[in-house]
Amino acid sequence: MSDESELDPWTAAVWRAARDPHASIDVPADLPAASPEMLEKALETLEELAGPRVRPAAAAARRFGDVPATLVALEPGDPGYRARRSTYMRGGSPALILRPRTPAEVADALAVAREHRDLPFGLRSGGHGVSGRSTNDGGLVLDVGDLNGVEVLDEDRRLVRVGPGATWKQVAAVLDKYDWALGSGDYGGVGVGGLATAGGIGLLSREHGLTIDRLRAVELVLADGTPVRASADENPELFWAVRGAGANFGVATAFEFEVEQVREVGWAQLVLVTNDIEQSLRAYGKAAREAPRDTTVFWLTGPPRQGQSVIQMYGLVDASDPDVIVERLTPFATTGLLAQQQVALTRYAGVMAQAADVGPGGHHGRGEPVARSGFLPELTDEFARDAARLLSTGQAAFFQLRHMGGAIADTPPEATAFAHRTSEFQVTALGADRRGLDEAWDRLAAHFDGLYLSFETDRRPERLHDAFPPATLARLRELKRRYDPTFLFRDNFGIDPEGEK
């Protein structure tokens, strides 16, 4: 772009400055002061106009050595940087964002990371991650957002190939054309890469298993830049590890999934009010325990106010008969005073499509939210009592139970690195005060057996032992010594190859 006449004065000033990444914003003296919102809008407009660009190798070399000229590399001040610096929930200021478009460029990006092992190193796909490990301050981020293709490989086998940078909303839209679906969490804006290596506890999991249970092959670039393919027949040990250990063994560049046929489903959003959250939680546990596999309902609340708690439940019934849908949902709708309900017959793609589109300005999360996670083998009266106490402290602004069981437990615990197969629920709490939430959450520890990587921000060493049972962790350490002996992938719930045997 060369003509600034159609831009507002603030955006034009930002545009002029950005053409020289080392210049400051030269604002004309007669312009009124800009609010933060005005400046934010100007910067987003700038990025939409400019888009990401390939940074000249000589410029990046000033700090980061030999960055190949073909590799998109964004530093603070570059057009496109602001759209990738932060995530959905938290802010970040990485020193360099690398955006490969091919597996070969992923290898180039990893070479840069190996040269700068003193810096934090994050991997990013969709930028939604709750754990916060896909951005950092002052480090490197390898962003695979441009590896976002979705294609059908074999229609008869329902085999599809998906890039890690695609969102589940995009995947669902493609599969819907064939009356197919792939279980993928509960929010369509999440990127494929993080969820498809951690587990994938979603609205179809009780019927079809975790997302990783539908994975048939994965292509990765290892820490040393070597491209590999892993499946049940090729590199089977690596295939075992990738399904549940997150980004510990390489950067995934493509996934192959065998998907299921899914047509219309019942989608429900319920709001209930209760003055006895403990009793309502027990009732929800009973309803969930007795639900058939085609029914999955997630439960969400926050701190009580004036003695009352608001409960949000949302879920899916894989059925097209309205009478069946109502029958499945009624036990959940009676666990408190039903204040609002919305039940619709829709497509799974329609459920995923409710996620807002991320514009060219990207995510603009701020702060450092704290997340704690646990697998709950059984929702007992004692857990309901202790959860009610935690909520009364006000430390958990968000407290969610994800309905598990069903097909998740059909896969043996030792079959994948995700070993926590028999729990009834996955529990997550979000808050702002790390010490306060940790103290409140730790009082619930006796109720849990393990934790879910994607929803955990606690980096205390003992959390690694919560994430993986002893035999699983020992096997992962051995594989880490083989595939990442220098511990390059260390900032995404890293498994130290030289840790305990």
Residue spans of the domains in the chain: they are 31-139, 150-261+469-483
SS3 content of the chain, % helix, strand, coil (to 5): 35, 20, 45
Which pLDDT score, from 0 to 100, does residue 22 have? 42
Q: Is the pLDDT of residue 14 over 50?
A: no
Residue 242 has pLDDT above 80, yes or no: yes
| pLDDT value, residue 44 | 55
Residue listed under structure tokens 């629920």: 425
Q: How far apart (Å, rounded) are the C-alpha atoms in residues 156 and 259?
A: 11
Q: Answer yes or no: is pLDDT of 51 > 80.
A: no
Mutual angle of helices 277-290 and 381-392, in 10-degree steps: 140
pLDDT band at 220 (very low <50, low <70, confident <90, very high): very high
Q: What is the mean pLDDT of residues 390-406?
A: 97
15: confidence class by pLDDT, cuts 50, 70, 90: very low
> What are the E-state strand segments in 211-294?
215-221, 227-231, 251-258, 260-261, 264-274
Residue 141, judged by CB atoms within 10 A of its CB (0-12, 13-18, 19+), counts as buried
Q: Mean pLDDT lowest for which of 39-43, 285-289, 387-391, 432-436?
A: 39-43
Q: Output DSSP code: residue 312.
A: E
Indicate whether 23 pLDDT > 50.
no
pLDDT at 33: 56
Q: What does the pLDDT read at residue 178?
A: 98
Position 61 scores a pLDDT of 47
Residues in the chain: 501
Residue 340 has pLDDT above 70, yes or no: yes
Summarised one tens digit per residue, pLDDT across range 114-136 is: 999 999 999 999 988 888 789 99
d(C-alpha 362, C-alpha 138), whole Å: 19
Tell me, what's the pLDDT at 76?
93
Q: How confident is the model at residue 19 (pLDDT cuts 50, 70, 90)?
A: very low
Tell me the pLDDT band of 2, cut-offs 50, 70 and 90: very low
Is residue 189 within 8 Å of 210, Cβ to Cβ? no
Q: What is the CA radius of gyration of the chain?
A: 23
pLDDT of residue 199: 96
- 9-18 vs 36-50: helix axis angle to the nearest 10? 50
What residue type is 113 in one-letter code? A
**pLDDT reading at 55 higher than 70:** no
Beta bridge partners of 140: 96, 121
Could you give the CA distance from residue 293 to residue 261 in angstroms, rounded to a whole number? 15
Rounded distance between C-alpha atoms, residue 501 and residue 495, angstroms: 11
Q: Yes or no: is domain 150-261+469-483 CATH 3.10.310.10?
A: no
Task: Read off the pLDDT of each residue in 341-359 and give the average, rounded to a whole number.
Answer: 94
4-8, 162-166, 181-185, 279-283: range with lowest mean pLDDT:
4-8
The secondary structure of 385-437 as a DSSP string is HHHHHHHHTT--SEEEEEE--GGGGGS-GGGSS----S-SEEEEEEES-HHHH
**For residue 128, what pLDDT is reported?**
86
Report pLDDT for 1.
Answer: 44
Arithmetic mean of pLDDT over the chain: 89
Tell me the whole-structure pTM to 2 decimals. Answer: 0.88
Is residue 476 within 8 Å of residue 243, measured between CB atoms?
Answer: no
Check residue 491 and give its pLDDT.
Answer: 84
Q: Which residues pair with 318 in a beta bridge?
A: none
Give the closest residue to 106 by CA, choosing from 135, 133, 70.
70
Contact 1, 46 (CB under 8 A): no
- Which class in CATH covers the domain with range 31-139? alpha beta
More confident residue, 68 or 101: 101
State residue 367's pLDDT score: 80
Strand pairing category for 215-221 and 251-258: antiparallel
